[in-house]
Amino acid sequence: MKTKSIDQINRKIDDGEAKIYTAEEFKKLVKNDEAPAFEDVDVITTGTCGVMSGTAAILNFIVSAPGEFIRANEVYLNGVPAYAGPCPNEWLGSVDAILHGTAHSIHDGNYGGGFLLKELLEGKEIDVRIETAEGKTIENTITMKDITRGQIIGTRMAFKNYTAFTNPNKEAISSIFAAVPLEGNLSGLTFSGCGDLNPLQNDIPHNVIRQGKKVLINGAEGYILGDGTRSSPEKPNLMLSADLCKMDPYYLGGFKTGQGGEVYDTVAIPIPVLTEEIYNNLLVRDEDIDLPVADIKGRHLPLTNTNYREMWGEYDLRPQFNRLECENCESCRVEEVCPTNAFKNERLNPAYCFGCGMCAHYCKHDAFDMNTGDVDLEIDGRNVNVPIICRQSDRLRANKLSLKLKKMIENKEFKL
Ligand code: SF4
Ligand code: SF4
């Protein structure tokens, strides 16, 4: 059996001779029957971007001069509650806090930890309110500069297995799996997962994606701590960690769902092609990856199956906004449904857009041009064509971070 060692690959990287492909580049070659042979591939950089509810940030920041309060009992950042502690920081004027990406503002359930972390990384001012142990309220504003240390821990990231959802019931159903209540009568489908770009999908037996290995999380170098919560050999996911202060706000943010604000992250993981088994696993294509479709009410009973080729195909990754078609509606439905607030005041912010497709589906005046596809499903002996109306994963961001990782490896900024 042919093999390569990490040392051999690292030497090739040092000599500028390593052959590194992003998963997107490699899959294109695979699909065209032009995949380079085992000997001609050294590293594939895989990636995924999606709603990752297990995201939490551990923060330390200064809120007052020393001596103003003994310890914090409650902490709110832009109204989003964080857990005070674990360290009490007695009399120091600083606070340790754990912020959940899924925590919701006490003022607005659609705003939460994911949106807040993006704003923090963008350098925006954040309102802080502390309720102290001695009954005082301390209010201040902080920016990223006041964060002395911030670390993201994702308890359950980079899922391999997802389920797509549709709603065969009559009434609309609110869920974290759709940006707005999903209308009934099989009128739309929502899904997650980056298909054949996904790291764990390309390394099913965990040959190389293991505890202690380096990864990129939202642009910052981080590590695999181990398996994530609820991970199993059949449905693996990863627990990951990286320095929040080194992250790029483009790659993480908030995502509104039918149950309030959620958080999305982007992860890229290199797969060194050490053995022919590792190489063979990398040949997986979207059409090889099953995706069960379930009733959004109840979630667990699959109604039918599809695959990721049906989800991503050659469909558009981003919408085009045609201002001339916009009717300046009194109340813009797109502003209401856009899960990342990328569309405000009739302007589309490409840095916030997630490519979910909701705008194209909900603007009744066709001001948005985006083909997100549709899928033929066999449900209860009936063939039904269901439009794909909401993607909770973003292949464009996954590809961008995979490309960044490839360049970092080539430039010797990221050692395998
Ligand atoms: S719903 Fe469509 S047409 Fe109406 S204001 Fe929004 S983008 Fe324009
Ligand atoms: S695709 Fe449309 S609805 Fe989705 S994030 Fe982008 S602008 Fe918003």
Q: How many CB atoms lie within 10 A of CB 328?
A: 9
Q: Which atom of ligand 1 is nearest to the CA of 321?
A: 7
- Determine the number of helices (DSSP H) and then strands (DSSP E) in the chain: 8, 24
Question: Using CA positions, which residue lies closest to atom 8 of ligand 1?
Answer: 326
Kindly report, residue by residue over 269-287, the tens digit of the pLDDT. Answer: 999 999 999 999 999 999 9
Q: Which of 70-84, 288-302, 346-360, 388-402 has the lowest mean pLDDT?
A: 288-302
| Ligand 2 atom nearest residue 348's Cα | 7
- For the chain, give the percent of residues with pLDDT over 90: 89
List b or e across 46-72, with b for residues whose CB sees 16 or more CB atoms inside 10 angstroms: bbbbbbbbbbbbbbbbbbbeeeebebb
pLDDT digit string (tens) for 143-177? 999 999 999 999 999 998 889 999 999 999 998 88
For ligand 2, pick from 356, 363, 366, 389 the residue to mutate: most ligand atoms within 8 Å of CB: 356
Pocket test for ligand 1, best of 180, 334, 362 (most atoms within 8 A of CB): 334
- Does pLDDT of 105 surpass 90? yes
The answer to whether the CB of 414 falls within 8 A of the CB of 14 is no
The two structure tokens encoding residue 187:
């009128």
Nearest ligand 1 atom to the CA of 365 is 3
Q: What's the one-letter identity of residue 150?
A: G
- CA 130 to chain CA centroid, Å, is 30
pLDDT of residue 300: 67
Domain locations in the chain? 55-153
- Ligand 2 atom closest to the Cα of residue 343 is 7
Q: Mean per-residue pLDDT for 123-151?
A: 97
Report the mean per-residue pLDDT for the chain: 95
pLDDT score of 381:
85
Mutate which of 359, 362, 389, 395 for ligand 2? The one with the most ligand atoms within 8 Å of its CB, which is: 359
